Structure 1
Amino acid sequence: MNIPGPEPRPDGGVGAIARAGGLHAYQLWLHAEYGPVARFQLPGADTAVSIADPVLLEAAVGLDERPERLFSFLDPLFEAGNLQVLPADEHEPWRRLLLGVLAGRPAHERHFARFTALATELADRWAALPAGRPVELQRELTALSLRMICAFALGGEVEDPDGVVEAFETVLAGQLERLYRPPGAVAPAEGAERTARALAVLRRTVDRAVAAHRGGGPGGDRSDLIGALVEAGEHPARIRDTVLTVLLAAHHTTGVAVSWTLHLLAGHPGAAGRVTAELDRVLGDRDVPDHADLHRLPYLEMVLKESLRRYPPGPYGARRTAAPLTVGPYRLPAGAVVFLPIRAVHLNPAYWPEPERFRPERFGPEESAGRHRLAWIPFGMGPRACEGARLATLEALLLLAVLLKRLRFRPVPGHPVVPVERFVLWAAEDIRMLVGPRAERGPDRS
């Protein structure tokens, strides 16, 4: 049976994706137009099939290869080979090593005090802002989450966190431009030079951390991640590539997820009131939670999950078939790109009634019990799912708890919040909020 989809275009699909405003928006249109399985054109793919139904996605959950051409735009980030497309036999031990560090409770507890201090510093600064001065949530929270992951992955602070964030943005902007460049178009030379300078900044940052780790001595920074990579016998280029990958993925995911959550809560005072009431009940007079407290905040976790459903930081993913694959009534050839339209899956009305509505209760025990396991996949699925999912969730819950225990957030009147694709699901003009102490809310405090 032929897979439905739009007619091929000479530009390889670039124009349709650009007109939609990025792949995340194009996928929503594609599945609304052609159903749960749709064929489409994608730069770097000869055959691309998008699957927005969790039941049908089961057929692809075990795929352990990513399409190399589709991820080639990230090649300049790496020296020892693109880590996003490692073959399965290399990827599995590398993934195991990362999971041992990023998903391990001992490492989380070891760094929790530092994470809490960084979150508290931000809350202090925002609490002291003059009334009426807006905060750009995504810019500030991305910078903070970079400092948190640097403390975890590098073993300490970086000299210029804002400069590192800017360097990542420069590299990603240049690489995304490559991905969506029309066939035959030539990139401007100044863009390549700017990207090269930004890459040099990032590599120097990681090199300093690796050198400090190897130096050991008094005052030397230590990193669980670097230590695990050194112990595993990884060579210097692979260590640097791995650390850069973790910094890139982690600082975007956490900062963006927390900013979208605060945006949604600001528009839903009932849910915001339930969160603050839960925080007051669990924490009492304390301003910050301890590690165990995070497991006693079920409604806050439901809010975060619903935010990740509405605005998944990584709105899509991709796999490659190593052999022919049957998906429902369709037969995909070997070498086909299976596209995971995460945002379209999360807005599928067959699994999420009123999908555009913000309703954290979807993630309560009763409603969650009968839901398909692949209906909510903000961190991907299968053997290529995000290794840092548990760490990102811990950081996000901690940040939300610290900020919402002390502060109130109100949207800047008239400021548009429009999701766009910038490697992650960003807001086009950031998310601007007016922030003040919660005490100002008076009777609403409870």
Structure 2
Amino acid sequence: MRIPGPRHQEDGGLGAIAAAGGLHQYQLRLHDAYGPVVRFQLPGADTAVSVADPVLLEATAHLDKRPEELFAFLDPLCEAGNLQVLPADEHTPWRRLLFSVLAGRPSHERHFARFTELARELADRWADQGRDGSQPVELQRELTALSLRMICGFAFGDADVGTAAGTDADTDVDRIAVAFEEVLTEHLGRLYQVPRDDPRSTERAEEALAYLRKTVDRVVAAHRSGDRTDRSDLIGALVDAGESPARIRDTVMMTLLAAHHTTGVAVSWTLYLLGRHPDAADRVAAELDDVLGERAAPDYGGLRRLTYLDMVLKESMRLFPPGPYGARETTEDLTLGPYELPAGTTVFYPFWAVHLNPRYWPEPERFDPERFTPREAAKRPRLAYIPFGIGPRSCEGAALATVEAQLVLAVLLKRLRFRPAPGHEAVPVERFVLWARDGIRMTVRPRE
């Protein structure tokens, strides 16, 4: 049976994607028009098959190969081979090593106090702004910067990123964030053939990439010097495993890139939704008061008691998944429901379309944390909710990202109340993650 989809376009689908406002919006339109399985053209893959039904996704969950051309825009960040498309024999041991650090409770607990300190510093600053009636805060910028500070500590251990780079720590973290934006904007623009208005964009991206590599190299050198006693951070684990300097640098670069974007954006959208749904915000505040009492922040074990906060975070990532899509490539013929996919087919995972599939999510665009009670969750297929991807190429940092997001939300919402800035509406757009086009601006006030 032939897979339905739009007619062939000479521009490879670029025009249709641009007209829809980005690939994620295009996916929603495609599945609305053609059903749960759609054939479409995709830059970097020519033709792909998009699957928005969680039951059919099960047949693809074993796939362990990513389409190389589709992820080629990340090549400049890697010198020992693009980590997103490593062959399985290289990817599996590398993934196992990352899990030993990123998904382990001991490493989470070791960094938890520092994470808490950073979150409380932001809450203090926002509380002061709220008291003096300052302008609304821009959540995305501030929270991605916070996430970057957290992941820098996790990756670099007790090495201060500012000291390692020869600068003030806060200034350097800001520089790292700007540098990633320069590199991503340049190379994503090449993938989607975006016209360049700035003749220096390529030069600036190259300078930014050189700066990022130099910063990581200095910290790696500190680890290798023999002066360090702590080996529980990411670089320490990679050094102890005997990874090459290039692979260590690549791993740290990709981890910093993925972690600071996704966690900061997830928390931003969650606060935005709570600001628009004060009843849910009241329930979160009541839970925090009940669990924490007079304490300003939970301990690591206490996160598990914040069950409604967890439901709110999950519902937010359903409505605004930080990474809106993924992709795999079949290495042999695959049966997908009534369709046959030949070897070499690009299988596209439209996370946003999966999360808005009305068959499994009634009134899919409505914010309702009650969807994630154990009873309701048990009614849905396993892959109806996939914010971190599926299978052997899913996000290795999912557990760490969840801990960070829950902690930051708990600290901020215990102390503060958020409301949408008058006249401002957050509009999601594609920018490596599901970003708000004009930011997410909210007024902040201390809780009474």
Residue 157 of structure 1: how far off its partner (Å): 3.7
Q: Does 1:432 align with 2:438?
A: no
Q: Any residues of structure 2 matched to 1:170-185 within 5 Å, and which? A: 170-181=182-193
CA distance in 2, matches of 1:192, 1:261: 35
Q: Could you tell me which amino acid in structure 1 is paired with residue 181 of structure 2? A: E
Matched position secondary structure for 2:220 = helix
Pick closer, same or farther for the CA change 1:406–1:187 going to 2, 3 Å. closer
Q: Any residues of structure 2 matched to 1:223-372 within 5 Å, and which? A: 224-372=233-381
The worse-fitting range, judged by mean Cα deviation, of 12-21 and 275-284 is: 12-21
CA distance in 2, matches of 1:222, 1:177: 38
CA distance in 2, matches of 1:221, 1:115: 18
Q: Could you tell me which amino acid in structure 1 is paired with residue 220 of structure 2? A: V
Matched position secondary structure for 1:195 = helix
CA distance in 2, matches of 1:78, 1:280: 46
Q: Does 1:199 align with 2:209?
A: yes
CA distance in 2, matches of 1:86, 1:408: 44
The worse-fitting range, judged by mean Cα deviation, of 48-57 and 207-216 is: 207-216
Q: Does 1:168 align with 2:170?
A: no
CA distance in 2, matches of 1:229, 1:77: 17
Residue 21 of structure 1: how far off its partner (Å): 1.1
Residue 187 of structure 1: how far off its partner (Å): 9.3
CA contact (8 A) 1:46 1:336 kept: no
Residue 189 of structure 1: how far off its partner (Å): 5.2
Q: Does 1:208 align with 2:218?
A: yes
Matched position secondary structure for 2:70 = coil
* Structure 2 residue aligned with 1:152: 154
CA contact (8 A) 1:150 1:247 kept: yes
CA contact (8 A) 1:154 1:222 kept: no
CA contact (8 A) 2:231 2:237 kept: no
User: Which runs of at least 4 in structure 1 moved beyond 4 Å after TM superposition?
Assistant: 185-189, 220-223
Matched position secondary structure for 2:8 = coil
CA distance in 2, matches of 1:408, 1:186: 41
Q: Could you tell me which amino acid in structure 2 is paired with residue 57 of structure 1? A: L
Matched position secondary structure for 1:252 = helix
TM-score by length of 1: 0.96
CA contact (8 A) 1:24 1:341 kept: yes
CA distance in 2, matches of 1:401, 1:364: 19
Residue 310 of structure 1: how far off its partner (Å): 0.3
Q: Does 1:43 align with 2:43?
A: yes
Q: Deviations over 1:163-210 (max 9, x none)?
A: 11000111111111011017xx88975221111011011111111211
* Structure 1 residue aligned with 2:168: none
Identity over aligned residues, as a percent? 71
CA contact (8 A) 1:74 1:175 kept: yes
The worse-fitting range, judged by mean Cα deviation, of 311-320 and 361-370 is: 361-370
Q: Deviations over 1:212-250 (max 9, x none)?
A: 2222427x7756211111122111001000000110110
CA contact (8 A) 2:80 2:247 kept: yes
Q: Does 1:11 align with 2:11?
A: yes
CA distance in 1, matches of 2:303, 2:55: 32
The worse-fitting range, judged by mean Cα deviation, of 223-232 and 102-111 is: 223-232
Matched position secondary structure for 2:161 = coil
* Structure 1 residue aligned with 2:169: none
Where do 5+ consecutive residues of structure 1 fail to align? 440-446
CA contact (8 A) 1:147 1:157 kept: no
CA distance in 1, matches of 2:230, 2:197: 40
CA distance in 2, matches of 1:297, 1:370: 22
* Structure 2 residue aligned with 1:68: 68
Where do 5+ consecutive residues of structure 2 fail to align? 163-171
TM-score by length of 2: 0.95
CA distance in 1, matches of 2:291, 2:370: 19
Residue 46 of structure 1: how far off its partner (Å): 3.2
CA contact (8 A) 2:101 2:232 kept: no
Q: Deviations over 1:277-299 (max 9, x none)?
A: 00000000111111111011000
Matched position secondary structure for 2:340 = strand
CA RMSD of aligned residues (A): 1.4
Residue 158 of structure 1: how far off its partner (Å): 2.4
CA contact (8 A) 1:43 1:179 kept: yes
Residue 71 of structure 1: how far off its partner (Å): 0.7
Q: Does 1:98 align with 2:110?
A: no
Q: Any residues of structure 2 matched to 1:102-113 within 5 Å, and which? A: 102-113=102-113
Matched position secondary structure for 2:408 = helix
CA contact (8 A) 1:170 1:194 kept: yes
Matched position secondary structure for 2:149 = helix
Q: Deviations over 1:95-132 (max 9, x none)?
A: 00100110000000000000000001100111111214
The worse-fitting range, judged by mean Cα deviation, of 328-337 and 157-166 is: 157-166
* Structure 1 residue aligned with 2:166: none
Residue 328 of structure 1: how far off its partner (Å): 0.6
The worse-fitting range, judged by mean Cα deviation, of 408-417 and 220-229 is: 220-229
Q: Deviations over 1:44-70 (max 9, x none)?
A: 113300000000111100000000011
CA distance in 1, matches of 2:20, 2:186: 20
CA distance in 2, matches of 1:157, 1:151: 8
